[in-house]
Amino acid sequence: MTETSPPAAAAEAQTLSSQYAPTEVEAKLYERWVAAGYFEADAKSEKPAYTIVIPPPNVTGSLHLGHAFEHTLIDSLTRRKRMQGYETLWQPGMDHAGIATQNVVERELAKEGLSRHDLGREAFIERVWQWKAESGGKILGQMRRLGDGVDWRRERFTMDEGLSRAVQTIFKNLFDDGLIYRAERIINWCPRCLTAISDIEVEYQDDDGELVSIRYGEGDASIVVATTRAETMLGDTAVAVHPDDERYRHLVGTEIELPLTGRRIPVVADAHVDPEFGTGAVKVTPAHDPNDFEIGQRHALPSITVLDERAIITAHGPFQGLDRFEARSAIVAALRADGRIVAEKRPYTHSVGHCSRCKTTIEPRQSMQWWVKVGPLAQAAGDAVRDGRVAIHPKEMESRYFGWVDNLHDWCISRQLWWGHRIPVWYGPEGEIVCVGPDDQPPAGEGWRQDNDVLDTWFSSGLWPFSTLGWPEQTADLQKFFPTSVLVTGYDILFFWVARMMMFGLYAMDGTPPFHTIALHGMVRDQFGKKMSKSFGNAVDPLDWMDAYGTDALRFTLARGANPGTDVPIGEEWVQGSRNFCNKIWNATRFALMNGATVEGPLPPAEELSTVDRWILSRLDATVAEVDALYEDYQFAKLSDALFHFAWDEVFDWYVELSKITLQAGGAEAAATRRVLGHVLDVTLRLLHPIVPFVTEELWTTLTGGESLVVAAWPQPEGRRDAAAEAEIATLQQVVTEVRRFRGEQGLKPGQKVPARLTLAGTALAAHEAPIRTLARLEPDAEGFAAATSFPIAGALVELDLSGAIDVPAERRRLEKDRAAAEKVKEQCTKKLANEGFLSKASAEVVAKVRGQLEAAEADIERIGGQLDRLPQG
């Protein structure tokens, strides 16, 4: 790209349309960035590394606002670091989403009248890969629309060979260390997905069910138990009571008859039974309830499984073949007919677990599964945060993290699926169990077979921060980019994913945490703070908004709503507002270009600059420092707001307007202002770029002739703070605003000029007569000037002549309102200063402040009184 000189830029500005058209520039710019290799991270670089791994989206997923939000945050962090000179890696990729993906492909097969069993395991997996190639990973293309600065050469997938090798390696290591084991327990079984799921994949919700009280046994030897799952009574193997419960003491150790089955079951005493709840007696179904399973273990009770994998009754005569809900009614009916029902409560609202994937009611099921012994891993994961090696933002989220890692149950990692990493364990004919590492040969020969199950998807995504970099090989990438810098993700997967990465990362990488900071964000909600959901009808496709308002508008809206750890409401009107902001930036820069703003040559020294120029450079410096500090603290909402107000309120509304006066006058001052205007926009565009990359890139390359903002330097404060200039311009703004307010109250048309006499000599405003006249639309005082009102500010005096046409009541209202406000301040200050307690206990600083306020208020009252006195009668 060639250098663009200012005149050429001005010419180019003429060709810029008066409205920013995002769709015309976005795709073009993105492809240019990728082609230029800006997003590629080089392990051989001398620069310090900055790494963020993408929270891997699901291969079946498509872009939703949650992604757009998270990616906006990550993209802005990495873009800023890249500008700061870091070797920046934003690692892209996806996870294989075992259950979700298998479901998608099974549904496709079902349309052809096939099941996965018809195809067989190998052919089915082949089919999944085929599906992935054709329609998986839609989201990756959508990420380009968002402007994500990821290194596409490094795209990874959890089922890739290298990542699979990582999974097998860590499985083997954990197995050898005794941290993975196989055991028969009660697990959460989804009768629709036909697999076990982990505790945290169960969602509890209050459902309407029934509570049925059933009498077991006969006469004196009878006990009433209550249940919400009557069908499980077929598998009861005991009734349990509390050991101290007098009511049942005589029955402990005896057997009573289980209705409908004729089986006799023991009455056992177990301290975990709550004698206060219900009748104080509980039925015990070890094969179908986690608590009962434990009671069964303690009392060596048999387990009787009565439901199959689809939750259909497996035996027991008339009930065989009924599903669990049909069986429930049928069994209650049968018990009722038998006179066994003592009480029925319906509806009975109670908490019921559902599969987080498909919402089917979970059926606790006793089965043999693989487990991770999380104790030592979770301890290390907790300690890393406790001792400060890993920081959680916002800090309040730490307690949730600790509460979880410190009370963790072992993690069930086997899934009865075909799509996923198959458990690398082989069973021999003599009952041998062999765990096979990635470089081992599986045992061959008659009778050996591999475990049928695959691993939980979180098992592989827990390795993501280092498996994507080549682990277990000691690659240059791993050397350079691990540990990663920051993990940006939603608080909702703190347990699902973050904790897994912490546990595996610390274990696999010899105690090095996978990231030093965890920056948690909230969920995107609608403009009324409601959760977005398809069924509620308030879900929004971010692509629609990007089409309508531009990617930058969406990104800015999301960033501006991102208060740490809190949910982000977003509405279309707000995206429109951001679009307006982008358009404002566009037009302000267009104005600058048309007026010869330049970045050529050094910025003139302060002595050669006007107060206005020194003021905006001072404000710019302050903004650079503020935005920079907020970035370090992940305060996206605040930094976006700071940029919004600086750009719009200070640069566009005041500096650009003030610069017009200087530019029109011409001469050396105009030349200096062109340079300052160019500089201010240059720096402002750099500051905005990480959040709104497209519009800033388009404008900045035109303004500066530079190659690209993506690789431009991030601004730093330049030591141009100037308190005197800031105070002087603040006074100027005050005068102009006061006059405008007067004009508004008087009902004057915006364009109407008003004769005015300005007495500014010797005051802060001495040099600003021209801007005051221009901005407040005041014309010179002519012969016969008669002041209708006056504005004494900072020693200066502005008098206006309305040719007798003044609306006296309106002016009186305005002045009286001001006086009332000042009176209120005076009263409050007087009260404080008359208070002994205040004078003796408040700090001298505060007391002095209040004294100053009182004086100012009294001066105002005096001044306004005078103005009121001078108003004509009427």
The residues in 154-213 that bind RNA, with binding defined as CB under 7 A, are 199-200, 202-204
Nearest to 248 by CA among 229, 273, 214: 273
Stretch that binds RNA, among 17-25, 40-48, 262-270, 612-620 (CB under 7 A): 17-25
Q: Round to whole Å and give the CA distance between 651 and 112.
A: 63
| Of residues 169 and 366, the one with the C-beta less far from RNA | 366
Near RNA by CB under 7 A: residue from 569, 604, 706, 795? 569
The residues in 723-752 that bind RNA, with binding defined as CB under 7 A, are 736-737, 740-741, 743-745, 747, 749-751
Q: Round to whole Å and give the CA distance between 359 and 353.
A: 9
The residues in 284-323 that bind RNA, with binding defined as CB under 7 A, are none
User: Taking a C-beta distance cutoff of 8 angstroms, is the pair 433, 425 a contact?
Assistant: yes
Site string for RNA, 521-560 (x = CB under 7 A): ----x-xxx-x-----------------------------
Shortest separation between residue 818's beta carbon and RNA, angstroms: 8
Task: Answer yes or no whether residue 588 interacts with RNA by CB under 7 A.
Answer: yes
Task: Answer yes or no whether residue 442 interacts with RNA by CB under 7 A.
Answer: no
Task: Answer yes or no whether residue 830 interacts with RNA by CB under 7 A.
Answer: no
Cβ neighbours for 130, distance < 8 A, ≥ 6 positions apart: none
| Of residues 323 and 860, the one with the C-beta less far from RNA | 860
**Exposure on the CB side of residue 223, measured as CA atoms within 13 A:** 29
Task: Answer yes or no whether residue 228 interacts with RNA by CB under 7 A.
Answer: no
**One-character DSSP codes across 157-223:** ETTSHHHHHHHHHHHHHHHHTT-EEEEEEEEEEETTTTEEE-GGGEEEEEEEEEEEEEEEEETTEEE
Chain mean position to CA 657? 38
Shortest separation between residue 211's beta carbon and RNA, angstroms: 15
Residue whose token pair is 């509890």: 204
Give 476-481's long-range contacts (Cβ < 8 A, gap of 24+). Answer: 476/43, 476/44, 477/43, 479/43, 480/43, 480/44, 480/45, 480/49, 480/87, 481/41, 481/43, 481/49, 481/51, 481/89, 481/91
Shortest separation between residue 318's beta carbon and RNA, angstroms: 34
Shortest separation between residue 669's beta carbon and RNA, angstroms: 19
User: Which element (helix H / strand E) includes 754?
Assistant: strand 754-759
**One-character DSSP codes across 628-676:** HHHHHTT-HHHHHHHHHHIIIIIIIIIIHHHHHHHHHH-HHHHHHHHHH
Site string for RNA, 851-870 (x = CB under 7 A): --x---x--x----------
The residues in 19-58 that bind RNA, with binding defined as CB under 7 A, are 19-21
Task: Answer yes or no whether residue 637 interacts with RNA by CB under 7 A.
Answer: yes
| Of residues 152 and 277, the one with the C-beta less far from RNA | 277
Shortest separation between residue 200's beta carbon and RNA, angstroms: 5
- What is the C-alpha end-to-end distance of the chain, expressed in Å? 70
Kindly state the number of chain residues that form the binding site for RNA, as judged by CB under 7 A: 82
**One-character DSSP codes across 564-602:** TTS-EE--HHHHHHHHHHHHHHHHHHHHHHHTT----SP
The residues in 492-511 that bind RNA, with binding defined as CB under 7 A, are 492, 495
Site string for RNA, 385-424 (x = CB under 7 A): -----------x--xx--xx--------------------
Both tokens assigned to 162: 């290298």
Annotated binding site for ATP: 534
Chain mean position to CA 523? 6
SS3 150: coil
| Of residues 396 and 600, the one with the C-beta less far from RNA | 396
Near RNA by CB under 7 A: residue from 298, 841, 851, 870? 841
The residues in 348-367 that bind RNA, with binding defined as CB under 7 A, are 351
SS (H, E, C) 266-324: EEEECCCCCCCCCCCEEEECCCCCHHHHHHHHHHCCCCCCCECCCCEECCCHHHCCCEH
Near RNA by CB under 7 A: residue from 56, 561, 596, 715? 561
Stretch that binds RNA, among 117-125, 369-377, 586-594, 704-712 (CB under 7 A): 586-594
| Of residues 220 and 573, the one with the C-beta less far from RNA | 573
User: Taking a C-beta distance cutoff of 8 angstroms, is the pair 363, 307 a contact?
Assistant: yes
Shortest separation between residue 493's beta carbon and RNA, angstroms: 10
| Of residues 11 and 110, the one with the C-beta less far from RNA | 11
Nearest to 735 by CA among 773, 687, 706: 773
Q: Round to whole Å and give the CA distance between 74 and 52.
A: 7
The residues in 642-661 that bind RNA, with binding defined as CB under 7 A, are 644-645, 648, 652-653, 656-657, 660
Q: Round to whole Å and give the CA distance between 774 and 71.
A: 45
| Of residues 807 and 860, the one with the C-beta less far from RNA | 860
| Of residues 27 and 221, the one with the C-beta less far from RNA | 27
Near RNA by CB under 7 A: residue from 423, 685, 829, 864? 829
Shortest separation between residue 689's beta carbon and RNA, angstroms: 19
| Of residues 401 and 418, the one with the C-beta less far from RNA | 401
Q: Round to whole Å and give the CA distance between 54 and 52.
A: 6
| Of residues 23 and 320, the one with the C-beta less far from RNA | 23
Shortest separation between residue 2's beta carbon and RNA, angstroms: 26
Task: Answer yes or no whether residue 821 interacts with RNA by CB under 7 A.
Answer: yes
Shortest separation between residue 822's beta carbon and RNA, angstroms: 6
Both tokens assigned to 786: 């008669």
Annotated binding site: 534
